[in-house]
Structure 1
Amino acid sequence: MQDEVNTKVVAIMIKGGKISAEVLKKALDKFVQEIEKAQKQMQQPKTYRGKQSIKHLMSQNAAISNIEVTDGNIKSFERTASKYGLDFALKKDVSVEPPSYLVFFKGRDVDVMTAAFKEFSAKAVKQKEQPSIRHKLDQEKAQSKAQHKEKVKVKAKDRGVEL
């Protein structure tokens, strides 16, 4: 059997007027630095940000707290949490009817979490207070029909002179 030889080809593009040994050496040094930098990044463990699994959240060696959120509000909460840069995990609690979600977050993020929940709850209350656009539209239609009925054209005009 033959020994297989694996070779790798590397392409380097150098832009210059006159390419000398010194320019080629600098380009190769720069290439080696980039490779080493990429290898260092590969060795570092990946840090998870934002929404993640409970397993990843626990692996960050932080105390974990949780808050319960209803099903209808979960997407809007995710937007608020990502705005504040919160690391959190969602777990669906099916033991309760209707099902709710438990939001797990790091214990040291409590202040950020309270600020995010204040904004989230204020937005939810404001949204509930606003009347529905369809409801407003139905009211306007009914009002315009009522005004239209009141306008009755009088065909016989009175000249104002009576005998």
Structure 2
Amino acid sequence: MQEEVTQKTIALVIKSAKLDASILKAAMRMYLNHHRKQAQKKHGKVSVKELVGEGAGASSIEITDSNIKSFERTARKYNVDFAVKKDKTTEPPKYLVFFKGRDADAIAQAFKEFVYGNEKKKNRTSVRQKLKYFREAASQDQNKERSRQKNKDRGQSL
């Protein structure tokens, strides 16, 4: 497997009457530029104009949660191109998430995971509350031990 990865070859076809170094150099440069453009296309957040410009047909979902960054993280994980637009006309503001029509299944799964994560965070107790509880429990234990020691000391002095 490792040999296949390290010894990767490409086929470059050039039509030329006379092949010299400058023509080969120009062909390789064209290939590398083309390859860079292909690699630059990432999935994730794009503008609405770019999303509609691709001609795949856009659909949308409405989100009322203000924590839109966590949805962006989830959508990137599913390699979905999406655009977020804030609707300021309503109070509280709503967010419209536009995505390609062909990505409907992936966006549905990403949205499901996003909602599950938010519910999980809401039901979770904070670390500060846990620390406060344990501090109180520890202080109560210390008071009990002090009272025992006082009783023991009084018993010995009589």
TM-score when normalising by structure 2:
0.73
1:123 counterpart = 2:121? no
1:111-159 residue CA offsets vs partner (Å, 9 max, x unmatched) = 0011111111111111111101111111111111222222212223449
Q: Which runs of 4+ in 1 moved over 6 A?
A: 41-44
CA distance in 2, matches of 1:106, 1:83: 16
Residue type at the aligned position of 1:117? F
CA RMSD of aligned residues (A): 2.8
1:8-40 residue CA offsets vs partner (Å, 9 max, x unmatched) = xxxxxxxxxxxxxxxxx8754542322332565
Match in the other structure for 2:107: 113
1:40-74 residue CA offsets vs partner (Å, 9 max, x unmatched) = 56999x85632111110110112211111234320
1:79 counterpart = 2:88? no
Q: Per the alignment, do residues 26 and 149 of structure 1 end up closer, same or farther by CA in structure 2, a change over 3 Å counting?
A: farther
**Contact residue 48 and residue 56 of structure 1 kept, 8 A:** no
CA distance in 2, matches of 1:129, 1:137: 17
Looking at CA atoms only, which structure, 1 or 2, has the larger radius of gyration? 1
**Higher helix proportion:** 2
By how many angstroms is 1:94 displaced? Answer: 0.5
Match in the other structure for 1:156: 154
1:69 counterpart = 2:63? yes
CA distance in 1, matches of 2:37, 2:95: 35
CA distance in 1, matches of 2:109, 2:33: 39
CA distance in 1, matches of 2:33, 2:140: 76
Match in the other structure for 2:82: 88
Residues 132-151 of structure 1 aligned to structure 2 (within 5 Å): 132-151=126-145
Q: Where does structure 2 lack aligned partners over 5 or more consecutive residues? A: 1-18
CA distance in 1, matches of 2:133, 2:46: 45
Match in the other structure for 1:16: none
- Percent identical pairs in the alignment equals 40
By how many angstroms is 1:90 displaced? Answer: 0.6
The alignment of Structure 1 onto Structure 2 pairs a total of residues equal to: 135
Residue type at the aligned position of 2:45? K
CA distance in 1, matches of 2:37, 2:105: 33
Q: Per the alignment, do residues 42 and 124 of structure 1 end up closer, same or farther by CA in structure 2, a change over 3 Å counting?
A: closer
CA distance in 1, matches of 2:77, 2:34: 30
TM-score when normalising by structure 1:
0.71
**Contact residue 68 and residue 100 of structure 1 kept, 8 A:** yes
